[in-house]
Copies of this chain bind each other. A is one copy, B any other.
Amino acid sequence: MRRATLKDVAARAGVHVATASRALNETSRHLVNSATLDRVLRAAADLGYSGNLSARTLRTARSMAIGMLLPDLTNPIFPPIVRGAEDILRERGYSTWIANTDDDPKITAASIDAFLARGVDGFISAGSRLHDGTAEQMAAQGHALVLVNRAVDRADIPSVTADDDHGVRLALSHFVELGHRKIVHLAGPQDLSTGVHRKRAFVQGLADHGLDREPERVAQCEAWSQREGHRVLSGLLRDEKIDFTAIVAGNDLIALGCYDALRERGLTCPHDVSIIGFNDTPFMDHVAPPMTTIRIPQYDLGREAAKLLVDLLEDPTGGPRSIVLPVELVIRRSTAPLR
Protein backbone atom coordinates (compact mmCIF):
# COMPACT_ATOMS: atom_id res chain seq x y z
CA MET A 1 0.00 0.00 0.00
CA ARG A 2 1.08 3.51 -0.83
CA ARG A 3 2.55 5.51 2.02
CA ALA A 4 0.07 8.00 3.44
CA THR A 5 0.69 11.66 2.63
CA LEU A 6 -0.38 14.74 4.46
CA LYS A 7 -3.20 15.07 1.99
CA ASP A 8 -4.51 11.65 3.03
CA VAL A 9 -4.40 12.65 6.67
CA ALA A 10 -6.15 15.93 5.96
CA ALA A 11 -8.87 14.22 3.96
CA ARG A 12 -9.48 11.64 6.66
CA ALA A 13 -9.65 14.35 9.32
CA GLY A 14 -11.84 16.52 7.12
CA VAL A 15 -9.50 19.49 7.18
CA HIS A 16 -7.25 21.34 4.77
CA VAL A 17 -3.68 20.11 4.36
CA ALA A 18 -2.39 23.32 5.85
CA THR A 19 -4.32 22.62 9.02
CA ALA A 20 -3.04 19.08 9.11
CA SER A 21 0.48 20.35 8.69
CA ARG A 22 0.05 22.82 11.53
CA ALA A 23 -1.39 20.13 13.77
CA LEU A 24 1.45 17.77 13.07
CA ASN A 25 4.20 20.25 13.82
CA GLU A 26 5.16 21.03 17.40
CA THR A 27 5.81 24.66 16.68
CA SER A 28 2.50 25.46 14.99
CA ARG A 29 0.32 23.11 16.96
CA HIS A 30 -0.91 25.87 19.25
CA LEU A 31 -2.59 27.53 16.28
CA VAL A 32 -5.13 24.77 15.89
CA ASN A 33 -8.33 24.12 17.75
CA SER A 34 -7.93 21.25 20.18
CA ALA A 35 -10.85 19.28 18.76
CA THR A 36 -9.45 19.42 15.22
CA LEU A 37 -6.00 18.70 16.59
CA ASP A 38 -7.35 15.46 18.00
CA ARG A 39 -8.99 14.54 14.73
CA VAL A 40 -5.79 15.15 12.79
CA LEU A 41 -3.65 13.25 15.24
CA ARG A 42 -6.07 10.36 15.19
CA ALA A 43 -6.15 10.32 11.40
CA ALA A 44 -2.37 10.39 11.24
CA ALA A 45 -2.12 7.52 13.69
CA ASP A 46 -4.76 5.51 11.83
CA LEU A 47 -2.88 5.89 8.59
CA GLY A 48 0.54 5.33 10.12
CA TYR A 49 1.50 8.67 8.70
CA SER A 50 5.08 9.74 9.06
CA GLY A 51 5.73 12.36 6.47
CA ASN A 52 8.05 12.72 3.56
CA LEU A 53 11.30 14.23 4.68
CA SER A 54 12.50 14.92 1.17
CA ALA A 55 9.53 17.18 0.66
CA ARG A 56 10.03 18.83 4.00
CA THR A 57 13.72 19.29 3.35
CA LEU A 58 13.01 20.80 -0.03
CA ARG A 59 10.53 23.22 1.44
CA THR A 60 12.34 24.20 4.62
CA ALA A 61 15.96 23.84 3.53
CA ARG A 62 16.60 21.90 6.71
CA SER A 63 17.15 18.17 6.46
CA MET A 64 17.67 17.14 10.06
CA ALA A 65 20.47 15.05 8.70
CA ILE A 66 24.17 15.22 9.33
CA GLY A 67 27.05 13.71 7.43
CA MET A 68 29.84 11.89 9.14
CA LEU A 69 33.21 11.74 7.46
CA LEU A 70 35.81 9.32 8.68
CA PRO A 71 38.90 7.77 7.18
CA ASP A 72 38.07 4.14 7.83
CA LEU A 73 35.42 2.59 9.99
CA THR A 74 37.59 -0.47 10.21
CA ASN A 75 40.08 1.38 12.38
CA PRO A 76 38.96 0.44 15.89
CA ILE A 77 39.01 3.97 17.25
CA PHE A 78 36.14 5.07 15.01
CA PRO A 79 33.22 2.75 15.72
CA PRO A 80 32.65 4.03 19.26
CA ILE A 81 32.91 7.61 18.02
CA VAL A 82 30.32 7.01 15.32
CA ARG A 83 28.11 5.13 17.73
CA GLY A 84 28.30 7.96 20.27
CA ALA A 85 27.44 10.54 17.66
CA GLU A 86 24.62 8.51 16.21
CA ASP A 87 23.09 7.93 19.63
CA ILE A 88 22.89 11.66 20.32
CA LEU A 89 21.77 12.53 16.82
CA ARG A 90 18.95 10.01 16.85
CA GLU A 91 17.85 11.24 20.27
CA ARG A 92 17.61 14.73 18.90
CA GLY A 93 15.74 13.76 15.77
CA TYR A 94 18.62 13.74 13.31
CA SER A 95 19.62 10.97 10.95
CA THR A 96 23.20 10.10 10.13
CA TRP A 97 24.96 9.58 6.83
CA ILE A 98 28.40 7.99 6.83
CA ALA A 99 31.26 7.98 4.38
CA ASN A 100 34.68 6.38 4.58
CA THR A 101 37.25 8.56 2.90
CA ASP A 102 40.54 6.71 3.45
CA ASP A 103 41.83 10.26 3.94
CA ASP A 104 41.83 10.55 0.18
CA PRO A 105 41.20 14.16 -0.90
CA LYS A 106 39.20 13.09 -3.94
CA ILE A 107 36.91 10.78 -2.01
CA THR A 108 36.61 13.34 0.74
CA ALA A 109 35.58 16.07 -1.67
CA ALA A 110 33.12 13.79 -3.41
CA SER A 111 31.60 12.72 -0.11
CA ILE A 112 31.22 16.28 1.08
CA ASP A 113 29.56 17.16 -2.16
CA ALA A 114 27.20 14.21 -1.95
CA PHE A 115 26.25 15.23 1.58
CA LEU A 116 25.69 18.80 0.48
CA ALA A 117 23.57 17.65 -2.44
CA ARG A 118 21.45 15.85 0.11
CA GLY A 119 21.13 19.00 2.11
CA VAL A 120 22.85 17.95 5.32
CA ASP A 121 22.61 20.51 8.08
CA GLY A 122 26.14 19.87 9.23
CA PHE A 123 29.18 17.66 9.32
CA ILE A 124 31.17 15.71 11.83
CA SER A 125 34.64 14.94 10.60
CA ALA A 126 36.94 12.46 12.23
CA GLY A 127 39.60 12.55 9.58
CA SER A 128 40.95 16.02 9.20
CA ARG A 129 44.58 15.90 8.29
CA LEU A 130 46.23 18.94 9.73
CA HIS A 131 47.30 20.73 6.60
CA ASP A 132 45.00 19.69 3.81
CA GLY A 133 42.78 22.71 4.31
CA THR A 134 39.51 20.86 3.85
CA ALA A 135 38.19 21.84 7.25
CA GLU A 136 39.15 25.47 6.80
CA GLN A 137 37.55 25.52 3.40
CA MET A 138 34.31 24.09 4.70
CA ALA A 139 34.24 26.57 7.54
CA ALA A 140 34.90 29.39 5.08
CA GLN A 141 31.92 28.27 3.03
CA GLY A 142 29.79 28.55 6.11
CA HIS A 143 29.08 24.89 6.66
CA ALA A 144 28.51 23.73 10.21
CA LEU A 145 31.38 21.45 11.07
CA VAL A 146 32.68 19.79 14.18
CA LEU A 147 35.98 17.99 14.27
CA VAL A 148 36.30 14.98 16.48
CA ASN A 149 39.41 13.26 17.73
CA ARG A 150 41.53 15.69 15.79
CA ALA A 151 41.80 19.44 15.90
CA VAL A 152 43.00 22.09 13.55
CA ASP A 153 45.03 25.22 14.26
CA ARG A 154 42.05 27.48 14.09
CA ALA A 155 40.00 28.61 17.00
CA ASP A 156 36.81 29.05 15.03
CA ILE A 157 36.47 25.41 14.09
CA PRO A 158 34.89 23.55 16.99
CA SER A 159 36.48 20.28 17.93
CA VAL A 160 36.22 17.55 20.52
CA THR A 161 39.48 15.93 21.43
CA ALA A 162 41.00 13.91 24.21
CA ASP A 163 43.51 15.42 26.57
CA ASP A 164 46.57 13.99 24.86
CA ASP A 165 48.93 16.18 26.83
CA HIS A 166 47.66 14.92 30.11
CA GLY A 167 47.77 11.36 28.81
CA VAL A 168 51.45 11.69 28.01
CA ARG A 169 52.09 13.23 31.41
CA LEU A 170 50.30 10.33 33.09
CA ALA A 171 52.44 7.90 31.14
CA LEU A 172 55.68 9.66 32.04
CA SER A 173 54.79 9.98 35.71
CA HIS A 174 53.95 6.31 35.83
CA PHE A 175 57.32 5.41 34.35
CA VAL A 176 59.16 7.77 36.68
CA GLU A 177 57.40 6.30 39.69
CA LEU A 178 58.49 2.88 38.55
CA GLY A 179 62.06 4.10 38.50
CA HIS A 180 62.53 4.51 34.78
CA ARG A 181 64.78 7.30 33.58
CA LYS A 182 65.57 6.32 30.01
CA ILE A 183 62.34 6.74 28.15
CA VAL A 184 61.66 7.04 24.42
CA HIS A 185 58.63 8.04 22.43
CA LEU A 186 57.59 6.37 19.22
CA ALA A 187 55.67 9.28 17.77
CA GLY A 188 52.76 8.88 15.38
CA PRO A 189 52.59 10.79 12.09
CA GLN A 190 52.78 14.53 12.51
CA ASP A 191 50.03 15.42 10.08
CA LEU A 192 47.44 14.70 12.75
CA SER A 193 46.92 16.85 15.81
CA THR A 194 47.12 13.82 18.09
CA GLY A 195 50.55 13.06 16.64
CA VAL A 196 51.96 16.50 17.26
CA HIS A 197 50.31 16.98 20.65
CA ARG A 198 51.58 13.72 22.05
CA LYS A 199 55.08 14.34 20.77
CA ARG A 200 55.18 17.90 22.04
CA ALA A 201 53.88 16.82 25.44
CA PHE A 202 56.48 14.09 25.61
CA VAL A 203 59.37 16.46 24.97
CA GLN A 204 57.95 18.92 27.47
CA GLY A 205 57.28 16.18 30.01
CA LEU A 206 60.82 14.88 29.77
CA ALA A 207 62.06 18.40 30.55
CA ASP A 208 59.68 18.70 33.49
CA HIS A 209 61.11 15.54 34.97
CA GLY A 210 64.67 16.66 34.24
CA LEU A 211 65.08 13.77 31.82
CA ASP A 212 65.88 15.69 28.65
CA ARG A 213 69.63 15.52 28.47
CA GLU A 214 69.70 13.30 25.42
CA PRO A 215 68.17 14.44 22.17
CA GLU A 216 67.37 11.10 20.55
CA ARG A 217 64.39 10.45 22.75
CA VAL A 218 61.82 10.62 19.97
CA ALA A 219 61.58 8.28 16.99
CA GLN A 220 59.15 8.97 14.23
CA CYS A 221 56.65 6.48 12.80
CA GLU A 222 55.22 7.14 9.36
CA ALA A 223 51.91 5.47 10.12
CA TRP A 224 49.81 4.56 13.14
CA SER A 225 50.41 0.90 12.50
CA GLN A 226 51.84 -2.17 14.10
CA ARG A 227 54.17 -2.58 11.16
CA GLU A 228 55.62 0.89 11.70
CA GLY A 229 55.99 0.31 15.42
CA HIS A 230 57.91 -2.82 14.60
CA ARG A 231 60.08 -1.14 12.01
CA VAL A 232 60.96 1.90 14.08
CA LEU A 233 61.65 0.06 17.32
CA SER A 234 63.79 -2.45 15.46
CA GLY A 235 65.87 0.48 14.24
CA LEU A 236 66.23 1.80 17.75
CA LEU A 237 67.27 -1.59 19.06
CA ARG A 238 69.98 -1.87 16.43
CA ASP A 239 71.27 1.59 17.28
CA GLU A 240 73.91 1.16 19.99
CA LYS A 241 73.85 4.83 20.97
CA ILE A 242 70.32 4.87 22.25
CA ASP A 243 69.42 2.89 25.29
CA PHE A 244 66.13 2.93 27.08
CA THR A 245 64.01 0.92 29.46
CA ALA A 246 60.61 2.38 28.71
CA ILE A 247 58.56 3.36 25.66
CA VAL A 248 55.63 5.72 25.28
CA ALA A 249 54.06 4.54 22.04
CA GLY A 250 52.02 6.87 19.85
CA ASN A 251 49.11 4.45 19.99
CA ASP A 252 48.31 0.84 20.83
CA LEU A 253 49.08 -0.48 17.37
CA ILE A 254 52.54 1.01 17.44
CA ALA A 255 52.94 -0.52 20.91
CA LEU A 256 51.91 -3.89 19.52
CA GLY A 257 54.60 -3.48 16.86
CA CYS A 258 57.05 -2.88 19.70
CA TYR A 259 56.02 -6.18 21.26
CA ASP A 260 56.92 -7.85 17.99
CA ALA A 261 60.28 -6.12 17.67
CA LEU A 262 61.25 -6.97 21.24
CA ARG A 263 60.25 -10.59 20.79
CA GLU A 264 62.37 -10.86 17.67
CA ARG A 265 65.42 -9.64 19.59
CA GLY A 266 64.75 -12.08 22.40
CA LEU A 267 63.72 -9.31 24.78
CA THR A 268 60.60 -9.46 26.86
CA CYS A 269 58.10 -6.86 27.95
CA PRO A 270 57.93 -5.71 30.70
CA HIS A 271 61.01 -7.57 31.98
CA ASP A 272 63.46 -5.81 29.69
CA VAL A 273 61.42 -2.90 28.43
CA SER A 274 58.16 -1.37 29.68
CA ILE A 275 55.62 -0.05 27.17
CA ILE A 276 52.61 2.23 27.41
CA GLY A 277 50.17 2.46 24.53
CA PHE A 278 47.50 4.99 23.69
CA ASN A 279 43.74 4.59 23.14
CA ASP A 280 42.87 1.41 25.00
CA THR A 281 41.78 -0.23 21.79
CA PRO A 282 39.44 -3.21 22.32
CA PHE A 283 41.16 -6.41 23.42
CA MET A 284 44.28 -4.66 24.70
CA ASP A 285 43.42 -6.29 28.01
CA HIS A 286 43.90 -9.64 26.29
CA VAL A 287 47.11 -9.17 24.35
CA ALA A 288 50.29 -10.62 25.80
CA PRO A 289 51.30 -8.95 28.00
CA PRO A 290 48.05 -7.09 28.78
CA MET A 291 48.79 -3.55 27.75
CA THR A 292 49.12 -0.56 30.01
CA THR A 293 47.63 2.27 28.01
CA ILE A 294 45.98 5.66 28.07
CA ARG A 295 42.26 5.26 27.69
CA ILE A 296 40.58 7.74 25.38
CA PRO A 297 36.82 8.16 25.92
CA GLN A 298 35.94 7.54 22.28
CA TYR A 299 32.25 7.01 22.75
CA ASP A 300 31.98 10.30 24.64
CA LEU A 301 34.06 12.03 22.02
CA GLY A 302 31.37 11.08 19.51
CA ARG A 303 28.54 12.12 21.80
CA GLU A 304 30.07 15.48 22.60
CA ALA A 305 30.82 16.18 18.98
CA ALA A 306 27.20 15.52 18.07
CA LYS A 307 25.97 17.69 20.92
CA LEU A 308 28.26 20.50 19.89
CA LEU A 309 27.07 20.30 16.32
CA VAL A 310 23.39 20.21 17.18
CA ASP A 311 23.79 23.11 19.61
CA LEU A 312 25.57 25.02 16.90
CA LEU A 313 22.78 24.34 14.44
CA GLU A 314 20.09 25.29 16.87
CA ASP A 315 21.81 28.42 18.05
CA PRO A 316 24.40 29.65 15.57
CA THR A 317 25.03 32.74 17.69
CA GLY A 318 26.55 30.59 20.41
CA GLY A 319 29.91 30.77 18.73
CA PRO A 320 32.32 27.89 18.32
CA ARG A 321 33.38 25.98 21.37
CA SER A 322 35.95 23.27 21.66
CA ILE A 323 35.98 20.51 24.21
CA VAL A 324 38.82 18.51 25.64
CA LEU A 325 37.83 15.29 27.37
CA PRO A 326 39.81 13.70 30.20
CA VAL A 327 41.85 10.56 29.66
CA GLU A 328 42.83 7.84 32.05
CA LEU A 329 45.87 5.66 32.67
CA VAL A 330 44.94 1.98 32.63
CA ILE A 331 47.66 0.01 34.32
CA ARG A 332 48.08 -3.54 33.12
CA ARG A 333 51.15 -5.65 32.71
CA SER A 334 53.28 -4.14 29.99
CA THR A 335 54.84 -1.83 32.59
CA ALA A 336 56.93 -2.89 35.57
CA PRO A 337 59.42 -1.35 38.01
CA LEU A 338 62.90 -0.81 36.65
CA ARG A 339 65.08 -3.75 37.62
- Inter-subunit contact A98/B96 (CB<8 Å): yes
Decide if A118 is an interface residue (CB 8 Å cutoff). Answer: yes
Decide if A82 is an interface residue (CB 8 Å cutoff). Answer: yes
Interface residues of A in 103-119 (CB under 8 A from B): 107, 111, 113-119
Interface size on A, residues (CB 8 A): 51
Decide if A14 is an interface residue (CB 8 Å cutoff). Answer: no
Chain B residues positioned under 8 Å from A220 (CB to CB): none
Q: In the complex, which residue of chain B has the Cβ closest to the Cβ of A284?
A: B283
Q: In the complex, which residue of chain B has the Cβ closest to the Cβ of A226?
A: B286
A54-B54, A116-B50 as given contacts; A86 in contact with B74, CB under 8 Å: no
Q: In the complex, which residue of chain B has the Cβ closest to the Cβ of A58?
A: B54
A288 to B83, CA, bound (A): 29
Decide if A87 is an interface residue (CB 8 Å cutoff). Answer: yes
Task: Say which residue of B54, B100, B286, B288 sits within 8 Å of A63 (CB atoms).
Answer: B54
Nearest CB on B from A100, distance (A): 6
Task: Say which residue of B53, B58, B86, B116 sits within 8 Å of A55 (CB atoms).
Answer: B58
Chain B residues positioned under 8 Å from A141 (CB to CB): 1
Extra 12 A-B pairs, beta carbons < 8 Å, given A74-B299, A76-B76, A90-B99 = A50-B116, A50-B117, A52-B58, A53-B118, A58-B58, A73-B82, A74-B83, A76-B79, A283-B284, A283-B286, A286-B287, A288-B289
Chain A residues engaging chain B, CB cutoff 8 angstroms: 1, 3, 50-55, 57-58, 63, 65, 72-74, 76, 78-80, 82-83, 86-87, 90, 95-100, 107, 111, 113-119, 141, 256, 259, 281-284, 286-289, 299
